[in-house]
């Protein structure tokens, strides 16, 4: 897959990745992946856990970001216009259709924007609407903090970073009465995993 070429950048940047519990995404059945979104560096880690027959849902403004737009093209991105309810709704319907008809997996960053802080932003509802409407599970994926080697605000990038990517067990979207309860449960599980990974790597709130 051409998309795998982005893995070469991890070598040039000196970043190593440790993927845990890959078995949770090794299935031909469709599911929605949700992952924390720290920075544009996420695209490098994403290539190490990208499943077959998967598309990504991205905000429309990323069409114009150099590098990221190429990545989006290579992974068949579905763009969502968050400033137009009608267009956003149409994009979600398009995503649901892709999942149902093509049995595709869908990758979504539910925070909706880059967030390098120690806690996750409130999740947007799109991923969970898709999962419940398509009657497919949600698979949370958590990337450990980049703070030891990367801080955009300080223009800091140190060669030789290490990132743990933990794939959590699938969450049954049909076991929850509504989108909000499903979203809340997924966010709780991801924040707990994020804290544990950072504790394991001795990453403090100051990095």
Each domain of the chain, given as residue ranges in start order, spans 2-200
Q: What is the pLDDT of residue 40?
A: 82
Residue entry with tokens 């898709």: 130
Mean pLDDT of 136-164: 88
Q: Which two tokens stand for residue 109?
A: 């960053």
Mean pLDDT of 158-179: 95
Class of domain 2-200: alpha beta
Is the pLDDT higher at 158 or at 28? 28
Which H or E run includes 166?
strand 162-167
**Confidence class for position 84, pLDDT limits 50, 70, 90:** low
Contact 55, 105 (CB under 8 A): yes
Q: What is the pLDDT of residue 66?
A: 58
Q: What share of the chain is helix, strand, coil (3-state, %, to 5)?
A: 40, 20, 40
Distance of alpha carbon 39 from alpha carbon 183, whole angstroms: 22
Give the gyration radius of the chain's Cα atoms: 16
pTM: 0.86
Question: What are the Cα distances from residue 70, in Å, to 23, 61, 101, 109, 184?
Answer: 28, 13, 26, 18, 32
Q: What is the pLDDT of residue 60?
A: 65
Write the DSSP symbol of residue 176: S
Residue 94 phi, psi dihedral angles, 5° rounding: -65, -40
Strand pairing category for 32-35 and 105-108 = parallel
Mean pLDDT of 70-88: 64
């Amino acid at each position: 897959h051409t998309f795998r070429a982005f893995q070469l950048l991890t070598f040039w940047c000196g970043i190593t990745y440790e993927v845990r519990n890959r078995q949770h995404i090794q299935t031909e059945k469709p599911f929605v992946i949700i992952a924390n979104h720290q920075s544009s560096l996420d695209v490098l880690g994403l290539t190490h856990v990208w499943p077959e027959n998967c598309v990504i849902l991205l905000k429309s403004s990323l069409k114009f970001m150099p590098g990221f737009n190429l990545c989006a093209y290579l992974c068949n991105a579905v763009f969502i216009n968050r400033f137009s309810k009608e267009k956003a709704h149409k994009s979600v319907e398009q995503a649901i259709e892709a999942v149902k008809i093509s049995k595709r997996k869908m990758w979504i960053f539910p925070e909706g924007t880059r967030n390098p802080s120690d806690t996750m932003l409130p999740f947007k509802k799109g991923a969970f609407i898709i999962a419940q409407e398509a009657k497919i599970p949600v698979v949370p994926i958590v990337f450990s903090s980049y703070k030891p080697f990367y801080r955009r605000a300080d223009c800091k990038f140190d060669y030789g970073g290490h990132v743990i990517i933990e794939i959590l067990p699938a969450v049954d979207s049909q076991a929850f009465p509504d989108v909000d309860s499903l979203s809340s449960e997924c966010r709780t599980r991801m924040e707990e995993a994020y804290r544990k990974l950072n504790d394991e790597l001795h990453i403090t709130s100051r990095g």
